[in-house]
């Protein structure tokens, strides 16, 4: 809820400022707010302690979730705030710092499963709810598709971007923890990510652009839970590869 409120405030500020100010189209610096959907395929979840391990079939589905975020992007052009006389071949390149947040929920759709370890017996997967906070650094290249007199650098663009990132992951078990039926616990993980993005960007006015984009994010977190099995820490890991379809509104300084 807080992320949606922040996005709405950022959207209103960007539109009010953009509609009341005229400057060269693409400037060196832009700040944008984004909102969309986060989608993850089926998960193959593995649970383990230091001595035992169990793996679920790849049939755990993840609920679609709201994605929200902020982007600060620098274009290599000699216009606007922080401009510099870059070589002409760099004019279509940019670098962006992107911060996103999405919910993560799964487990309540999954039936019981059986461990090969006789000491564990029949295990029930808890219902997990949490979130993922991702910081990424994207290197982008844009292809001008339409140019106009008021937009000599281009008004409509196709762009691609790729870069590394890091994600902080939080999960909370809302019912039984494996091997500890009375406990409710949470786990955290910090993991490197790889992000790829492509989309179209349109300047609706000279200071404000709208992006429609698709993003893929690779991540493989390993959660360490604050409750364990037989006194040993419990770890849960899976490939948290997500797909985003989103809208970004940016103001160019």
Q: What's the rounded mean pLDDT across residues 201-221?
A: 92
For residues 201 and 226, the model is more confident at: 201
pLDDT of residue 22: 41
pLDDT of residue 229: 55
For residues 28 and 111, the model is more confident at: 28
pLDDT of residue 206: 82
Q: What's the rounded mean pLDDT across residues 126-151?
A: 88
Domain extent at residue 242:
2-252
pLDDT of residue 137: 97
Are the CB atoms for 251 and 18 separated by under 8 Å? yes
List, for residues 32-51, the tens digit of each pLDDT value. 999 999 998 777 777 776 66
pLDDT of residue 21: 44
Give how many domains the chain has, as a whole number: 1
For residues 5 and 57, the model is more confident at: 57
pLDDT of residue 236: 78
Mean pLDDT rounded to a whole number for the chain: 78
Q: Is it the case that residue 133 has pLDDT exceeding 90?
A: yes
Q: Is it the case that residue 245 has pLDDT exceeding 70?
A: yes
Q: Full-prediction pTM beyond 0.85?
A: no
> Which residues are CB-neighbours of 243 under 8 A, at least 6 positions away?
38, 39, 40, 214, 215, 216, 217
pLDDT of residue 184: 57
Are the CB atoms for 110 and 56 separated by under 8 Å? yes
**Whole-number percent of the chain with pLDDT over 90:** 36
Residue 114 belongs to domain with CATH number: 2.40.160.20
Q: Is it the case that residue 110 has pLDDT exceeding 70?
A: no
Q: Is it the case that residue 23 has pLDDT exceeding 50?
A: no
């Amino acid at each position: 809820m807080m992320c949606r409120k922040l996005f709405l405030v950022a959207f209103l500020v960007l539109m009010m400022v953009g509609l009341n100010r005229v400057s060269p189209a693409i400037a060196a610096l832009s700040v944008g707010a984004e909102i969309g959907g986060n989608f993850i395929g089926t998960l193959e979840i593995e649970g383990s302690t230091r001595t035992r391990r169990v793996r679920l079939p790849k049939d755990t589905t993840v609920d679609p979730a709201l994605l929200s975020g902020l982007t600060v992007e620098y274009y290599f052009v000699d216009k606007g705030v922080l401009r510099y006389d870059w070589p002409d071949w760099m004019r279509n390149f940019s670098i962006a710092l992107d911060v996103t947040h999405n919910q993560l929920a799964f487990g309540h759709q999954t039936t019981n499963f059986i461990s090969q370890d006789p000491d564990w017996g029949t295990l029930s997967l808890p219902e997990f709810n949490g979130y993922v906070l991702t910081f990424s650094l994207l290197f982008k290249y844009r292809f001008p598709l339409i140019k106009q007199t008021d937009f000599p650098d281009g008004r409509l663009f196709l762009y691609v971007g790729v870069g590394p990132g890091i994600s902080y992951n939080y999960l909370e078990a809302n019912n039984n923890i494996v091997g500890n039926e009375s406990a409710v616990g949470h786990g955290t993980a910090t993991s490197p990510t790889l992000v790829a993005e492509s989309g179209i960007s349109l300047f609706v006015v000279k200071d404000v652009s709208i992006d429609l984009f698709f993003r893929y994010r690779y991540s493989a977190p390993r959660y360490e839970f604050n409750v364990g099995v037989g006194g040993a820490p419990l770890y849960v890991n899976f490939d948290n590869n997500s797909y985003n379809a989103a809208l970004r509104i940016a103001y160019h300084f």
